[in-house]
């Protein structure tokens, strides 16, 4: 019986890891497209942030409804529905760019995001309910780490395969409308791959998660930690997306080229990926010696991530690799600091979350007050300390819930992922009105609330 349970856990976790990878890639590819879209449609910073707004507002519109739908049709059918919507949205980008219609482009983003809402509303509670509650943060951090692999690859590919060729085309005399066509093919490929995955999932037998039928899911409304955690997710996603979108404007103000600024933003997401691997290891039930051994491998991996991302580029239409090992070493040092600060959390999700919220406030203040060459690394480091926030906030918010309550709780929490729509838009408006540095004060308020939730708001009562 135990062997069967372990087999179900492995199958469920393998399946969910692939889903986390898919929606991580799609989310960040859209975020990275903001700079390409701004170039193609000649937009202000505020107008360009409408790409993020259109994506993340789908969470406010559909997450709550998705929670009810998934409770009725099951996790597997919810995932299939999400994948179909993602594919539909992907295919809509082709006509949007062909006629150069920004409203149609935003509609395509919204449809794709609706599919991601289904995927995420199904995926997070499934992972949390798939095993013991005490190891839920470790499982969520592991799947979020694989999500982090995708979120690191996505902006890198967007910069290398889309933005850099578009910038090169414009320098060669092409119009922004012609350069915009570089967006079309990646989304056609994404849509086709997602359709194939959806077809494959139809034939997969997933382990079923069942709860206590005597418990009403409406009892979730009486759980304060769910609501406070939802607000924590609002602040986290808003700060994460807003800070990521602010890296390019910040670096442009500091004299960096557009394509270089976009490529460096991949470092931000690379830090989140590395930090999530640390989180999945340190919050697990592994023996201490194994935790240190695996963490050492992650540190070596961190060096190569920082080295490769900052060294690869497209110049005059050709892929080139300008080796910059010093950037890899800087990235490694930040990873080591992230590891030791995570150790201070002593394996407790709320303590680690409080420490990281405080660190991010300090990093943003440093970025505001220092030259761009130094402040750049402060901003890029924030990715490391964002790493465990979503899984830890989610795990704390759904702690002590029955599996029957999970879909609705996930719907409530995911609704406030709409912070990714509101906060970046506010940051974009403040950037136009004042400066990229001044607008960075907004995420500080977000991280202050996250620190409060970690240390106080997450207590069950």
**251-298 pLDDT, tens per residue?**
888 777 666 666 677 788 888 888 888 877 876 777 888 888 989 998
Q: Express each pLDDT in 199-227 by its tens digit.
A: 877 777 766 665 555 455 566 667 778 88
What global pTM score does this model have? 0.73
Buried-exposed string 232-255: b where 16+ CB fall within 10 A, e elsewhere: bbbbbbbbbbbbbbbbbbbbbebe
Q: What is the mean pLDDT of residues 404-432?
A: 82
Give the DSSP letter of residue 135.
G
Q: What is the mean pLDDT of residues 322-347?
A: 84
pLDDT number for residue 442 = 92
Q: At CB < 8 A and 24+ separation, what contacts does 5-12 make?
A: 8/207, 9/130, 9/131, 9/207, 11/206, 11/207, 12/126, 12/127, 12/130, 12/206, 12/207
Q: Express each pLDDT in 386-401 by its tens digit.
A: 988 888 888 888 777 7
Q: What is the mean pLDDT of the chain?
A: 78
| Alpha carbons 194 and 86: distance in angstroms, whole number | 7
Domains annotated for the chain, with CATH where assigned, are 2-204+217-457 (1.20.1250.20)
Q: Which of 124, 147, 123, 417 is nearest to 277 (CA)?
A: 147
| Alpha carbons 151 and 389: distance in angstroms, whole number | 15
pLDDT above 70: percentage of residues in the chain? 74
């Amino acid at each position: 019986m135990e062997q069967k349970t372990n087999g179900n856990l492995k199958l469920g976790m393998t399946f969910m890891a692939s889903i986390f990878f898919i929606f991580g890639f799609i989310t960040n590819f859209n975020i990275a497209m903001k700079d390409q879209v701004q170039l193609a449609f000649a937009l202000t910073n505020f107008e360009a942030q409408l790409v993020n707004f259109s994506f993340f507002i789908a969470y406010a519109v559909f997450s709550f409804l998705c929670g009810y739908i998934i409770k009725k049709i099951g996790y597997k059918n919810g995932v299939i529905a999400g994948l179909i919507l993602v594919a539909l949205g992907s295919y809509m980008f082709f006509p949007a760019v062909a006629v150069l219609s920004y409203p149609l482009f935003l509609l395509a983003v919204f449809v794709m995001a609706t599919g991601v809402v289904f995927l995420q509303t199904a995926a997070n509670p499934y992972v949390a309910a798939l095993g013991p509650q005490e190891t839920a943060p470790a499982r969520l951090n592991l799947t979020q780490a694989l999500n982090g692999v995708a979120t690191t690859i996505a902006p890198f590919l967007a910069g290398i395969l889309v933005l850099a060729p578009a910038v090169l085309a414009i320098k060669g005399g092409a119009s922004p409308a012609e350069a915009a066509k570089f967006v079309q093919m990646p989304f056609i490929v994404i849509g086709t791959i997602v359709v194939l995955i959806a077809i494959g999932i139809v034939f997969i037998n997933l382990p079923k998660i069942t709860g206590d039928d005597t418990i009403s899911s409406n009892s979730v409304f009486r759980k304060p930690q769910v609501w406070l955690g939802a607000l924590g997710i609002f602040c986290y996603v808003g700060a994460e997306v807003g800070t990521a979108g602010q890296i390019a404007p910040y670096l442009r103000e500091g004299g960096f080229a557009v394509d270089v600024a976009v490529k460096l933003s991949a470092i931000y997401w690379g830090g989140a990926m590395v930090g999530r691997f640390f989180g999945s290891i340190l919050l697990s039930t592994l023996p201490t010696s194994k935790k240190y051994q695996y963490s050492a491998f992650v540190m070596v991996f961190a060096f190569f991530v920082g080295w490769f991302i900052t060294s690869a580029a497209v110049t005059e239409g050709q892929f080139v690799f300008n080796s910059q090992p010093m950037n890899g070493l800087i990235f490694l040092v930040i990873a080591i600091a992230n590891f030791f600060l995570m150790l201070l959390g002593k394996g407790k999700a709320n303590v680690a979350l409080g420490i990281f919220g405080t660190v991010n406030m300090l990093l943003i203040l440093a970025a505001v007050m220092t030259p761009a060459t130094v402040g750049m690394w402060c901003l890029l480091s924030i990715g490391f300390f964002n790493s465990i926030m979503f899984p830890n906030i989610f795990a704390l918010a759904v702690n002590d819930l029955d599996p029957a309550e999970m879909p609705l709780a996930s719907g409530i929490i995911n609704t406030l992922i709409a912070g990714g729509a509101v906060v970046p838009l506010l940051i974009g408006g403040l950037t136009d009105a004042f400066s990229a540095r001044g607008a960075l004060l907004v995420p500080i308020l977000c991280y202050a609330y996250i620190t409060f939730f970690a240390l106080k708001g997450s207590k069950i009562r």
